[in-house]
Structure 1
């Protein structure tokens, strides 16, 4: 019986070691698993990640991959359903060798997988809603926190507000989705920052991600006479606001962040002209920018559809190039035989203003797992045009995580 117990213990330890092991030697390829909404309500903005990962991995592989090892994207569609995302993840974790990284395109999925990612010693990059990023664990933001971007928008409002002339504070109403993503800006830190900046938040109104008409919500907001209506949503939700405002002849001034992108413009067109955005990636319409020129070249060569020209196509490139950077540095530090998620995480937390193709800026630390730079842009003639340079955004993560 004692020998049996020892044998079972040895088998358990061996199995555990196999599960958490690093690469035993230089691999033939490095797989980058991606959980993406290729279908479902977010698909117009997120589905282009499929093309983005294919193109970015090919670009990196043409230049030697990671120390001679090619990258291979492994993409799974969850259609906006968290249970499907978890199921795909369970398949990823059984791969041999186990993946080092994970890409997540929806906040609710990032929240659901956060602890599993820690347990399995992976590193993830995710959109940053809810508790996906904080408390800091093994997940890093693909762009700044939604509340930080809202704070940056408020900074710009105050910079352009004449308190003496107007004789009052600027007024902002919030109209956003009733989802993890949409509610991400409804935090005490945002309220406190608005008070600090002498901004009055006059209303907070939610609507369903399935709603295509928000006339009732806009009538309520209009009565509060806000100077700006700020929203933390994307695609169909943005179109619903723009079209409903037109229906009641409400000439609102709309504000948003980096997720209000070309997929929304394709749906709402000229109705979005005049919208002001806190942006964190280079605009596709900045045609003279070297990074945008490169992406446009790949777009043409690969005959990508116009609908692929969204933020998330750029996110895919940024993720692949960031993984190339940190995995390469991790190999330099520990070698292929000891390469694992922990080694990659250490290198992620050392990034300072890393700028993949100049598209965005990534700076992380053990306490800060979301980047913090952006700029102000406006939609003019259905194009997203920068109107300021890059700036540091206010840090509005929960105080206990600073």
Structure 2
């Protein structure tokens, strides 16, 4: 195992050596609301793009919202000249996950980088998540109305099937358990037509296809959600892994992608108690599909600090104190052993017990109650198997949300808000 104090940009060099030949690099976060994680992830991603030739960033966000950012950072027709304007239009709670000053700074850099290059060489920004059923449906209408009116009927049939449930789409999942309310056939027709149209190349066709995949994934997700257990979580992470694979195919045979998501999605679920609960995640799926040598998983952690989160689902965000990590946790051990900032690259025969043993590892979601630290907010983890590398920040500070549209949010699955 290699430990490098983190202070200057060059301190990432040992980590870049580890990821230089990887096809996929996933960079996590222990919270959705810490400035330090977002800032360090931004700095590392800039180097992956500039020095290693990565082609796109895929984030734990909705496809339609992120597509507006993509059009801005790539200078596409109709894209905002200022990426922050696109980020401020994020609609689904919790908007601060991506509508924050730290992501805006990265996107401004990415736009400047891209505009110095020919269009085929520009680096994309895409959403991997499954929640945006209505927004994706509207995007399909907009595209088909202009490009493929013959397929519009399939989209309208799918819309009519979901329409009785309005914005409370989780009610569709409940109804599907007891009555013949399933929209599978209509969604399959829609997906088939848009997939055929996407074969005609072009970014508009690909985006419409992905929006149809979101609609299909959302239909499966809401049906699974009402049954409880790991099924809806697995639908969501499988959808994100499938979206990642479509992007790799879209960008070409030598394409390379960076993923930004919570540690709970990035770190291999097989090295945690998630596996015993029947859960998988995108980090595990990427390793299985592409091979461990072509996938590098990077986690984050801290001992204490402040974080942006909400006390309950849908509530306004606020800065909260994250107290010192509990005794016996990964974070407590690293607080005792590491400098304030460090990069750890796992591997080799001489790894200490806290890397190979199962220890509690903190995970803070968008809904957070610091009083739960005594029994919740931790995932039992074998750190060196869950991640290939780990970035340690002994103390963190809250990130800086942007003004955003009034937001509504769907119910999420355990682990809540990640």
TM-score by length of 2: 0.28
Q: Comparing both chains, which one has the higher relative contact order based on Cα–Cα distances under 8 Å and sequence gaps of 6 or more?
A: 2
Between structure 1 and structure 2, the one with the greater Rg is 1
Of Structure 1 and Structure 2, which has the larger fraction of its residues in helix?
A: 2
TM-score by length of 1: 0.29
